[in-house]
Every structure is written in structure tokens, then in C-alpha cells.
Structure 1
């Protein structure tokens, strides 16, 4: 890895890459350990999923990267036509010799406009660009007010905790809304639901979480896109930064606690102008707060959808049998750990 980032030229080791794609932690690791990795000529710093990056700024990775860009170096200053100093107020003196600024480009579907958080990024004369043509994208836009896909239709389904698995089976076996991307709030819930659906039978299901290796996750996503999987049960590992094509329906098996999580989840469908459905299972105690949260976030409207008990009744006997089988499977898994 180090060899691809720098190369030996005579007695000097120099950077060999024009573009580096890295996680913050790994980049900082190379800055500290790889003496040949020089960022003093870096022109563009692109931060994807910027809202999550801002939340991790307590780790000081950004300040370390900026320090590597503007750090002093006698050799660099002597051979460069440009001076590198952190941007401040522009004066005639500051432009001689010419400056070579570092431009930061932030991308996110849920980028905060909270000035206190944005201040941490050290932005100079920032500009906001939106891919959505809307008056809401102007400077008067409220904080934590987001854009939802135009083709997205949102529903919530009042339910009891014990009926959630039956509702998932109803969506796949009766309503045939697959391919479905189903989100849970933990990998334990995702795994338990996957085992339950698998034991019930009749559904091509898979799980997607940190339980799987990177290779297994890549293969699972490929199978899902190819239509080999009807129901993909996932943690929020698939909610960000992964473009899964052909998702007809997103189901929030567990209601997300934060509105940003909801926006990223439902954004996996209705992509590139296509239509998509999003369903959220809500317990009675969750309804008021969740609906208020989504409304304040800028949702065009989330509709109530009822599933009649008689629509689930024919599956209940098999479901009760599966619950007993599931207890044995989980007990066996724990004994092997």
C-alpha cells in the first residue's frame, strides 16, 4: 500500500499518486508513518458523507490533514512558485507570492447547516450547491430540513412488536413488493429476523451487516441487484454510500431514532427519478414523536397504512412453530460461540 502512494527518486522519496481515496483514519496513519507521502501540493480535499465526518471531528483527523498540507518545508518552499498558508482575510500582501489554496468539497444527502458544526471544518467563503431545484435550497432553509426523492411515497404501519415478522412475510409473500431492503437498528435483530424468515420458508432472504466479511457483503449486494434475493435484511451498513439499483421498496422494520438515518434509509429507493415505496413499522408509543420528526425534516407527507389482522391469520400457526424452531437455532449458535 505504501509503495503505491510514494516512490523513491534518487535520495528523495516523493508522492506517486494523483488521486488518493482513503478513510480519515488510514490517511492520518500514512501521514504519520509514511515520510514519502507529501500533501503540500494537495489542491482538493473531497469529504463524502460529510455529516458523518463532522460527527467524527473529535478525532482531530481533519486538523492533522490540514497541518500536513500547510506544514513548513524548506525544500518545498524553495522550489514552489506558490506559497501555502491557511486562508484568512485577503490583502495585497497576502497575495504576494500567489496563494495555492486548499479547496474542500463536501457531499452529503443530509448535510447540516448548523453554523457551529460547519465552523469546525474551517471553510472559507463557503457556497452551498443543491442537486434539487427548490426554493427550500436557498439561504433561508431551516436546519435539518432535507430533500426527499420526488418519486418516493412514504407510509407508516401501526403494529405490535410481535407482529413485525408477520408483516414482513405479508409484504413479500402476499403483496409481492420485492425486492425489499429492510432495515433494523442492530445486527442482532437483523440476524434473528433473517433466521426467522429462512425457517418460515418461501422467501429468498439474506442479511447484510458487520457479521459478514467484506467479500461476503459485496457478493450479497451483487446477488440482490441481480434479483436472486427478494428480501435483504440490513443494519444501517447499507443506508449510506452504497448505490443499490432496483430497490422497489424500503421497510424500516425498526423505526430509526434520528431523522438523518431515516432520510438515508428511504433514499435507497426512488433513485434517479424512479418511483419507490417506504414503509415504517411503528409501535403506538413511537408514533407521535416519529411523525413529528419526519414532518419537521421536510417530508412531503407520510400516510397511514393499516394491515388487517385477517390478512396475517393464515400465517400465524406456521409462525408460532417457527418461533420455537428459532429458539433452538439461536441456542445452538450460542453454544458454538
Structure 2
């Protein structure tokens, strides 16, 4: 039975019943971290990182040193706990021990923005040990991506042209690839020289979302390609042994080399991660995990960041925008993200807020309806502090990490506890403090209480805004509504003029997220 909302009537897999509790571990200073490459340690120190968080320590212990990567890892850890570096660091160290140029690690994420963020983490550490990182997200043309991902070996470059000569062998230009599913499938299906036959590590980040949406069957395609290679080499050499510095002819016949001499043919290691990892056996079965080890933070399935404070703001239905404006006035210039229930609501709310000229706060929309270049520019301004408030829908901010976000505001109540956790997780990250405000109509209060109880959290006091502040905003609100109505009518007329149906707006959004 599939997992729906928050209700799970499915059995828990045996390996999930006895997890490793990473919350029992302490941070570890870099100079005490066993087996770390000195080059990586120096790079981390230059980045201002002097120690690893508990989840990073736990993953390191399971992946580096004796018995490394013997089991696939499933990591369920709160947002902001450092999951990206938890898998990036051991993968970079493991790949650096063998100087071969093949695509050996693949990290798959649901959105372009999140993929860009993860690539930045790899870019910060991988070059120090001689590794290169590629990106396949559809941000640029596929031709540009191909030129960055695939190269012709230098020794095969020839100035003369021989029409009967075999084409030069293509090879990977990167060791690690960060990709979204749609563009990954584009390269698998049509890019010459792009291959996963040397793949050693597969990371599925934001697993819940990637398993929930088909994305052109990317997962079964990747597993079929890698497992077919494994089975072919195993059948040709049952003892799965390659003599040290011996012939690799058997492997070449199977079309696989992977650059590993003198050791058993390596299996594909998988690492799956989420702050709200599914426990549905039918979904986890898609991953075909090898003796999985479950790492989680504490006994509770759903956990909030340790220093998060939650508040509810009870609103009169018709005056909800006024309550939001009053709250933003109280928060001043603190970095805040306002969440709505849809991209359409995001656009309209952001437009409305910008008609309150007395706010003196820079407010921008961050939506899947925008072009990637616009979103990137907005996010850059938000990171720098030039924009104080980001109005966004859920789809675009799962996993996003922006330093210094003090407040998360749920303008629309989240429908599920998972949604609340991912929204709230944009603040109080990496041990910092933060607040999450939820605007509620009176009829929503009871349902919201039940929602938080799913995470064993009853500490959500009422936050009040001054009544004088609400009254002073009434006239401005009336004027802002009129101006919003004019904008909406104008935009609707433009869409009709170019023949865009309302349903096409949603299709356009989905295409941009691939």
C-alpha cells in the first residue's frame, strides 16, 4: 500500500526497526577524524569548518576505513543537519585514491536549484584532490553540457581525416555528476560517450520526492544499466577476481572497466537521504538496496531542528494579508521566507505585498513559473541580503540552504507534517536559532494541532500582532487589493492573447523543474 499524506498502514522493514541513532554521537574535530586526506582537511579548514556534525561523523565511520561502503546507507536526519557534506566528503575521499578519469559518482536531485547548491559543495572540496564535478540540469543548452561532460582523449586527436578509420573513443570529462532526472535521461538516451558503466556511487537526495514522481523512469534505467554490467562480469569470472596488474581483457569484453585493478569488481553503492524518509516497503524496494543500514536522529520519525521556535498566528479570514504585513513589520529586515500553497498564490501574494509601500522591505517571488536565470538572480540577492523576504511555493525550496534565514512563515497552512518539516527546515540550520510562524484561520487551529502531534510537538504558542498595527493597514490594504485585481486582469488578458490555457501554466512549471 502506498504512503499517502501522513497515514501509513504499511509494515516497517526489519532493517528500519534497529536504526543507528546519530543523535548519540558528538561533533568531531577535523584533527581527530580518522583517515581523512590531509588535502581535504586543509580545504575544509579554509572553508571555516573545524568539526563535523553528528550525521556527518556517522556516515564517515560507515564509509571510510576498514569495512568501508560494505552496506548501502539510508539517512533520515533533520533539515539543516549537514546531510550534503555527509555524503560528499566520503565519496570525494574514496574516489581520490584511484587516479582514473571515469564518471564514478552520480548524485540525483529533484530540482535545478537544489542540484546547483549540491554542486557548489562538491566544487568546494573535489578539486583539492584532483577530481572534477559536472552538472546536468538543463540550465544551459544540452550541447554545452555535453562539451563539459564528454571529451576525446588527447592521444587520439589527429589532424588528418580518414573516413575508414574508427571514430575516436569518447570518455568522461568528470568524476562526479550532479543531475536532475530529466536531463540525466536526456544524456543517457542521446549523448554519445556518456556512460554509467564505471559508476561506483549513487546518491538519491530528497528520496521521498524522487521516488514519488516517475521522472521518465530514471531510477530503473540507472539500476538496469549498472546491474547488467555487474551480472555480465560476474558470470564471465565467477570468482570476481582480477589479478593485480593482470589483463583486463575479460572486463573489456563485457564493456566495463571501472578503473579498478587488483580487486573485486565493485558493486554500485547507494546512499539515500531525506529529512522525512519514507518507510513504505514498496517504494524502498525500487532502490534495490544492499544490506541497508538505517541512520536516523533519535527514535522519533519526524524531528525539527533543535533550536527552532514555532508559533501560530490566529487570523480573521478576510484580513489574512494584513496579519502577514504586520508580522513582517515586526520582524523588520530579518531574512524571511513566506510559503504559500501554489505558484499562483506565490505570484499574487508577492504582487500584493509590494503594493504596501510603507513596509520598506525588499520582497521577491521565487517560483517554478519563473525562468531559471530569474530564480538564480533572486536567490543570489536573497543570500547577499539585498532581498529580505522571499515568497515561495513548496516545490522550489525543499533542501535549499540559505545562510542567515531567521524566519519561516507559513502563509498557507501546510497540508502534511512532512511539508511543515521541510518548510520549517529552511531556518534554524547548522545549530543556529530560528522561528517558524503559521498563519491560521480559526477553523484551522484544531487541524494544525493534530498535525504537530505527529511529530510529538505541542510547543506552539500563539503569537499576537498589535491591533493598532492591523487597523492602520486597512486603507492601504483596500487600495492594494484594487491594484492587484488590475494586475491579475491584465496578466489574464495577455495569456488569452497568446492562446495559453490555464492548464498550460502548470505544464510550463513542470517542464522548468526538470
**Fold shared by both chains (TM-score > 0.5):** yes
Aligned to 1:94: none
Change (3 A) 1:58 1:233: closer
TM-score normalised over the length of structure 1: 0.84
Kept in 2, the 8 Å contact 1:171–1:177? The answer is: no
Render the CA deviation track for 1:253-308: whole Å, top value 9, x for unaligned.
01111221111111001111111110111122322222212211243622223445
Two-structure CA RMSD over aligned residues (Å): 2.7
Kept in 2, the 8 Å contact 1:46–1:104? The answer is: yes
Question: How many angstroms apart in 1 are the aligned matches of 2:268 and 2:309?
Answer: 41
Aligned to 1:38: 195
Aligned to 2:340: 184
Change (3 A) 1:303 1:148: same
Render the CA deviation track for 1:7-55: whole Å, top value 9, x for unaligned.
3455433333211111122222222223422222211001111111111
Aligned to 1:26: 183
Question: How many angstroms apart in 2 are the aligned matches of 1:147 and 1:221?
Answer: 27
- Please tell me whether residue 278 in structure 1 is matched to residue 436 in structure 2: yes
Question: How many angstroms apart in 1 are the aligned matches of 2:151 and 2:383?
Answer: 40
Give the drift of 1:176.
Answer: 2.4
Question: How many angstroms apart in 2 are the aligned matches of 1:263 and 1:77?
Answer: 52
- Please tell me whether residue 173 in structure 1 is matched to residue 329 in structure 2: yes
Q: Secondary structure at the match of 2:295?
A: coil
- Please tell me whether residue 118 in structure 1 is matched to residue 284 in structure 2: yes
Render the CA deviation track for 1:304-334: whole Å, top value 9, x for unaligned.
2344544411111221122122222222232
Change (3 A) 1:275 1:82: farther
Change (3 A) 1:35 1:218: closer
Kept in 1, the 8 Å contact 2:399–2:426? The answer is: no
Q: Secondary structure at the match of 2:401?
A: coil
Render the CA deviation track for 1:200-221: whole Å, top value 9, x for unaligned.
2133211110232211111111
Aligned to 1:228: 386
Question: How many angstroms apart in 2 are the aligned matches of 1:316 and 1:154?
Answer: 27
- Please tell me whether residue 79 in structure 1 is matched to residue 251 in structure 2: yes
Aligned to 2:271: 105
Change (3 A) 1:302 1:100: same
Question: How many angstroms apart in 2 are the aligned matches of 1:8 and 1:70?
Answer: 27
Change (3 A) 1:201 1:116: same
Equivalent in 473, 478, 481 of residue 323 of structure 1: 481
Q: Which runs of 5+ in 2 are unaligned?
A: 1-144, 157-165, 237-247, 257-262, 496-514
Aligned to 1:156: 312
Change (3 A) 1:48 1:294: same
Q: How does 1:227-306 map to 2 (within 5 A)?
A: 227-299=385-457, 301-306=459-464
- Please tell me whether residue 210 in structure 1 is matched to residue 382 in structure 2: no
Kept in 2, the 8 Å contact 1:182–1:253? The answer is: yes
Give the drift of 1:106.
Answer: 1.0
Larger mean CA deviation between 297-306 and 179-188 belongs to: 297-306
Change (3 A) 1:42 1:180: same
Change (3 A) 1:152 1:82: farther
Q: Secondary structure at the match of 2:364?
A: strand
Render the CA deviation track for 1:57-109: whole Å, top value 9, x for unaligned.
4842211101111235799872369999xxxxxxxxxxxx9342110011211
Change (3 A) 1:40 1:236: same
Kept in 2, the 8 Å contact 1:81–1:98? The answer is: no
Q: Which runs of 5+ in 1 are unaligned?
A: 85-96
Equivalent in 136, 151, 155 of residue 7 of structure 1: 151
